Amino acid sequence: MEVHGGTLKAPRSDLFCGESGTTLRFMTALCSLIEGECTLTGGPSLSKRPVEPLLEALRQIGVDSESKGGYPPIKVKGRGRIGDSDVHIRGDISSQFVSALLLIAPLSNGMRINLTTPLESKPYVKMTMDALRTFGVTVQASNDMLSYLIKKQAYRPVNMMVEGDWSSAANILAAGTLAGKVTVENLSPKSGQADTAIIDILKTLGARIQMAGRRISVEKSDLRAIEVDLSNSPDIFTVTASLCATASGVSVLRGLRRLRYKESDRVAAMMEGLQKMGVNVKQEEDVLKIEGCRPKGDTIDPHNDHRIAMAFSVLGLVSEGETTILDAGCVSKSYPRFWEDMEIIGADIKRSEND
């Protein structure tokens, strides 16, 4: 794919972001650089995800913005330029707010970003800074990642190889761990992606895993309960919960508070599905305790959440009876070929006419 840079112009129609929070938040910030008005909309679940902290940050740099009670749809009235500015924003709601500001900061006359609360999901902001560095932009960040100084700079064009996605691969690796043997290629163990944490999780669970360069192989293993903090890698909570549902003992998953603000309330959705499949689950604030067992197949509503659908399809591989995933097409948000790849590794999948 080739992307040719140029002058930004206000779109002729609304920008529909589907169910992608990343798209919505990054494009909201980008629209502040456009002279004119932009309206950003989203699907049903995206319209329930908060964006007000980012809009307030943009107002601090002179950008007019409004929303529907802090949620999409959003209107941004850019002025085409951003002066020297100081921005204060919370770091404990979404790291995407910080990344969005970092993306536009080099095109201002200088920006200082100050976090008023500790930053969660630090690896994602580090990835943003790594990407900026690749395109010739330097960010001066404090050691605690609570403050950032970005001077006026120019992006430079580059040729780059996009890494394999660890969050998607985690589901295939989990499938191999539970039900057979799988090898996944093009995964860099040195990647800055937060979801490389799945490797340590699998090892701690007792999975048999082999790594050779960018190839990772796993095979069916007897798993034991674990205790893990997922605050820095929330996207693998769902598949980790499915793995723990089969592990011997009681697993403890911590750092789940922000998972209530994803495409669905992922903690509630996972509890609902696991309990339907006969798994004993207990919640205590941002902690989930899962007692491993032999799950029983059931009908699962993923609440239009791609990660919920994938996680329960993996668990369905080793559940007694048949597992039905409603609205199975929701996986297309992040992994359009998921069901085809599951068939390639041996899953018996029956599609309805609507999928």
What's the one-letter identity of residue 116? Answer: T
| Of 246, 217, 254, residue with least CA distance to 311 | 246
DSSP state of 329: G
Which residues partner with 41 through β-bridges?
16
Task: Please tell me which residue in 14, 86, 200, 235 is annotated as part of the active site.
Answer: 235
User: How far apart, in Å, do the first and last CA atoms of the chain sit?
Assistant: 29
Q: Is the dihedral of CA 5, 168, 172, 232 positive or negative?
A: positive
Active-site residue flag, 200: no
Inter-CA distances, 204 with 193, 221, 240, Å? 19, 12, 11
Q: State how far the Cα of 135 lies from the Cα of 126, in Å rounded to an integer.
A: 14
Task: State the Cα–Cα distance between residues 123 and 88, nearest whole angstrom.
Answer: 20
Helix axes 237-244, 306-316, angle to 10 degrees: 20
**Contact in structure between 293 and 322 (CB atoms under 8 Å):** no
Residue type, 149: L
Residue 135 DSSP one-character state: T
CB 48 within 8 A of CB 41: no
Catalytic site positions = 235
